[in-house]
Amino acid sequence: MDTPETEDAQLHKLHGGVGKRQPGKGSLRPGAGLPGPPRSAQHQESPQQCSLEQKGRMNRLYDMEPRVMDDEMLKLAVGEQGPREEAGQLAKQEGILFKDVLSLQLDFQNILRIDNLWQFENLQKLQLDNNIIEKIEGLENLTRLVWLDLSFNNIEAIEGLDMLVNLEDLSLFNNRISKIDSLDALVKLQVLSLGNNRIENMMNIIYLRRFKALRTLSLSGNPVAEDEDYKMFICAYLPDLVYLDFRRLDDHMKELAEMKHQYSIDELKHRENLMQAQLEDEQARREELEEHKAAFVEQLNGTFLFDSMYAEDVEGSKLSHLPGVGELLEAYKDKFVIICLNIFEYGLKQQEKRKAELDTFMECVQEAIQENQEQGKLKIAKFEEKHLLSLNAIREESELSNIETKIVEYSEDITELLNVLMMLEMQLVEQLEETINMFERNIIDLVGLFVENVQSLMAQCRDLENHHHEKLLEIAINVLEKTVKGEMDEDLPDDLRSLFVDKDTIVNAVGASHDIHLLKIDNREDELVTRVNSWCTHLLDKVHKDEIMRNRQRVKEINQYVDHAQSELDSLECGDLLD
């Protein structure tokens, strides 16, 4: 069985300690892998355990003026921590690009604010401990960061980490943090050090359950760690944790903790399962909506369009209270929604046809390119066999006239290869041009048919609206005549009664409602047609541009290969002439 010391040594070998470091220690190698963890177990304990020498350095640090992270500081840090010996001298002469730096050490610099790190786009390790930083910021571009040390600063809140999706090791040891939150984006988090902060509420522990990869946690030195149930609570609520405050959590303690908190844990798991199911449902709805948008028929599989017609129709809402209008509206709505569903279902089927057409086209293109490349490889392989024999023959030939003849023959072989490869490429260009033209015709026909049929169905919606308008106007005029004659048996709401002043007023009210409805139908139709036509245009533009880029790249590759073969011949020819 491992002793506690051995376990600690293993832990710090794997994850490293977090805390104060001596200035100037450690290394940075731009372009290299991550360096070994420089931290140690003793640095994880409270500041009272730091040596007098370390305290003296800290006092001198805080006597310095606050500094900013400018280009001069960053260049100096990169230069000092860069590669040594010949590679280092070359780097100093030519300069090291910030984008090539993988690890950066900026501890004990009295830095007040994180800034100017946007160029370090490939940085994997960043060390900013033992400064006077008050806010986590300026890390948005460091999306490849794996290891971040912000220990021994003045940070009060966890923030600014939303883009660090690859972060595995985070140290915020010895700051002023009182709440664990805003870490949701850190889905790969394995090591979290929050020792020597101001965390009091045990409920902060529950937040950490979402980090499925978390194996090492440090909270010693916080008020929460003084709770007598601290370790048992963490064992129960974070069952996958391996190390807590640099001690391995044994299985027996985990079993006891699970038994003690079983009821609360079961209740929490139930809530988490409900929440997870809700999140999955929401995700499924979002994905479904995206599919409907791709077919340009989103929100046509229900009453959305009909409801939107009345959402801003004040006059229509009033008129709906007229006798007999309720039944008229129900019949109108049912028929209208059926047409919308027809558009929706037709749109999904047409989307499948467009997708199948695109997939078939892409498959044909890839097959043509692959077949053409195979033919090119065969030509190049035959050339290279002859190439080696030709070069050897030229080297072994002693007669100058024979050398010149062989050089001319070999040069002709290179020219012939160039012509053959270019001919193959031209054949491919013609083949793909024909395929692209056929695809363009097919996709334009599909889109055109889709638009034509949708417009026909939308016209049915307008016909329904016109019919409803006529019926509504007829009912309104009838009510007006009864009101004038005093034959109206039913009481009308005051806002509706105000419309029945004269015929012009009621006709205008019914007409205003009708205009709003037609506008909603027209706008939805225009939106659908515009979007599908725009999609078609962009798709075909991309297809043509991709082919142009492919052709240019292939011609470039051919020329580079031929130029290389010619340069070998030229080099050999010059050498022979010198001899």
> Directed axis angle between helix 325-396 and helix 503-578, to 10°?
10
Separation between Cα atoms, residue 368 and residue 428, nearest integer Å: 7
Instruction: Output the pLDDT for position 386.
Output: 79
Q: For residues 247 and 7, is the Cβ–Cβ distance under 8 A?
A: yes
Burial of 120 (0-12, 13-18, 19+ CB in 10 A): buried
The structure tokens listed for 330 are 């129900």
| Residue among 470, 390, 374 at smallest CA distance from 424 | 374
- Give pLDDT, residue 383: 85
Ranges of the chain with pLDDT below 70: 1-64, 82-96, 397-398, 487-490, 572-579
If residue 67 lies in a helix (H) or strand (E), which one and from where to where?
strand 67-68
Burial class (CB in 10 A: 0-12, 13-18, 19+), 30: buried
pLDDT value of residue 263: 84
According to the model, what pLDDT value does residue 578 have? 43
If DSSP codes are grouped into helix, strand and coil, which group holds residue 112? strand
DSSP structural state of residue 37: P
Quick one: pLDDT at residue 99?
Answer: 85
Query: DSSP letter string over 238-290?
Result: -TT--EETTEEPPHHHHHHHHHHTHHHHHHHHHHHHHHHHHHHHHHHHHHHHH
**pTM for the predicted model, two decimal places:** 0.65
Kindly state the tokens that stand for 510.
Answer: 């019914």
Question: Comparing C-alpha atoms, which of 437, 442, 446, 444 is closest to residue 547?
Answer: 437
Contacts by 393-400 with C-beta closer than 8 Å and gap 24+? 394/572, 394/576, 395/572
Please provide residue 459's backbone torsions phi and psi, each rounded to the nearest 5 degrees.
-65, -35
State the DSSP code for 81: T
Please name which of 339, 360, 531 lies closest in space to residue 447, comparing C-alpha atoms. 531
pLDDT, position 269: 85
User: What burial letters (b/e) apply to 131-161, b meaning 16+ CB within 10 Å?
Assistant: bbbbebebbeebeebbbbbbbbbebbebebb
